[in-house]
Amino acid sequence: MKRHRNVKIVATLGPASSSYAMIRALVEAGADVFRLNMSHGTHEEQKARYDIIRQVEADLNVPIAVLADLQGPKLRVGTFADGPEDLAVGAAFRLDLDPTPGDVTRVQLPHPEIFAALRPGASLLVNDGKIRLKVVECGADFADCTVVVGGAISNRKGVNVPDVVLPLAALSQKDRVDLEFACALGADWLALSFVQRAADVEEARALAKGRAAILAKIEKPAAVDDFDEILAVSDGIMVARGDLGVELPVAAVPPIQKRLIAACRAAAKPVIVATQMLESMIESPMPTRAEVSDVANAIYEGADAVMLSAESAAGKFPLEAVRTMENVAIEVEQDPRYRELLDASRMVDRSSIAEGIVAAAREIADTTDVRAICCYSRSGKTANLVARERPRTPILVLTPLVRTARMMCLSWGTICRMTETVDEFRSAVVAAVRIALAENLADKTDHVVVVAGVPFNTVGSTNILRIAPCDERLIYGTDVA
């Protein structure tokens, strides 16, 4: 299966997409990564989906990444005695620890840590920001508020606190159980929800013990403020625009998205743009023009991947949603302006030998008739450096590790294939040429660029580049300089 675009597609699995037939069809339509949302479904249901993914992977002989998305600390109000209540603008409303069912004047907020952190003037957003409260007075067990934006409030609606860094554990007890389950299952990526600080990522990494890569979801103002530190300790980033658009002015989200994508590319770490990308396709077989533009803009900005949530998990048209993303990506990447934007945003500050090697590989590939850049990589770091360069030619990633092959499914432009462990550069060149020919990336009259590190099987040792001919002498191991 050869993709005709470089950006990757993440599809969330759910009730609408749990059968073998549908999951295989989604891969054939364009899905590169499947997201298991740990907020919904049982462990048994998620394991059944995981097992099907691995069966499809084996049947199609292509690596498929699995991203387990942890729920994170969910803040919710309690219940109401008489059902939903309508809060009027200017009315007083109290949040407290009293478990008694609420009414139009008060409701329980069973999170004492929030009250400990609140200050007068802070905002509280309820039900995805549809209701906005301003704290007038607060204490250890209450917050007296004024209703700034009114509306209907009902049982267990979510609460956002955008103005305060909350003293919440990054991982709830449920998250810890889900993390261990996902790692034991074999998930390739763990996505952390409601990250506020770099320490949140480090905590998850300690629990994962190297069994999965860590992806931080940026959906809190505190995470935006601390982004450089969070990026430094993360393996990847998700720009989760749902809660981000609740806790920040919606007009602030597009420039933040652009800035985060640029920072991720500079760090050579994959970045996903997510939330409401084709929202209308939950109910409609056709997206809105605005949604198509949203997906296109994320691709123009240089995102590694774009993501479907409810569209593929619970919508009526999961297959059409993936096909739409595929078609938008192909159309955008054929636009000459797309290439101009990528070239204009390329990093020029390269401080390491590895960065110089991959930059040279891209320059050679872009200015000659070289057909592909082939990189031998155990950790994926070399491949991500090549992907950061956004070359015009395909990036063929060769690795002996199935986990690395799957992880790379999230990185821009990479075609990941398994190969045997090699101990010398000559063997890596032969493997690169053979696989490039087998994948129809080149023919015997062509050349490929091969990037690797000596000594072999040492992470971070990228230090050698060769332009290799794809001819019979090389294939059969003779006359190889």
* Catalytic sites, residue numbers: 35, 76, 217, 275
Residues in contact with 175: Cβ distance below 8 Å, sequence separation at least 6, in sequence order: 38, 70, 71, 72, 73
End-to-end CA distance of the chain: 33
Q: How far is CA 262 from CA 26, 207, 256, 419, in A?
A: 29, 29, 10, 32
Sign, Cα dihedral of 400, 405, 408, 412 = positive
Other Cβ atoms closer than 10 A to 460? 13
* Distance (Å, whole) CA 7 – CA 326: 9
* Distance (Å, whole) CA 92 – CA 148: 10
Residues in contact with 137: Cβ distance below 8 Å, sequence separation at least 6, in sequence order: 120, 143, 144
What angle do the packed helices 173-185 and 43-60 form, to 10 degrees? 30
The conformational region for residue 466 under phi > 0 = left, psi -120 to 50 = alpha, else beta, is: beta
202 neighbors 170 (Cβ within 8 angstroms): no
* Distance (Å, whole) CA 401 – CA 380: 10
Helix boundaries (H) for 303-412: 310-313, 318-333, 336-344, 353-367, 381-388, 402-407
Instruction: Tell how strand 462-469 and strand 447-453 pair up.
Output: antiparallel
Instruction: Tell how strand 131-139 and strand 142-149 pair up.
Output: antiparallel
Q: For the stretch 386-425, what's the b/e string if a residue is b when 16 or more beta carbons lie within 10 angstroms of its beta carbon?
A: bbbbbbbbbbbbbbbeebbbbbbbbbbbbbbbebeebeeb
β-strand partners of 401: none
**Which residue in the block uniquely carries the two structure tokens 């007068």?**
120
- DSSP letter (8 states) at residue 314: T
Omega before 455 within 30 of 0, i.e. cis:
yes
17 neighbors 23 (Cβ within 8 angstroms): yes
450 neighbors 440 (Cβ within 8 angstroms): no
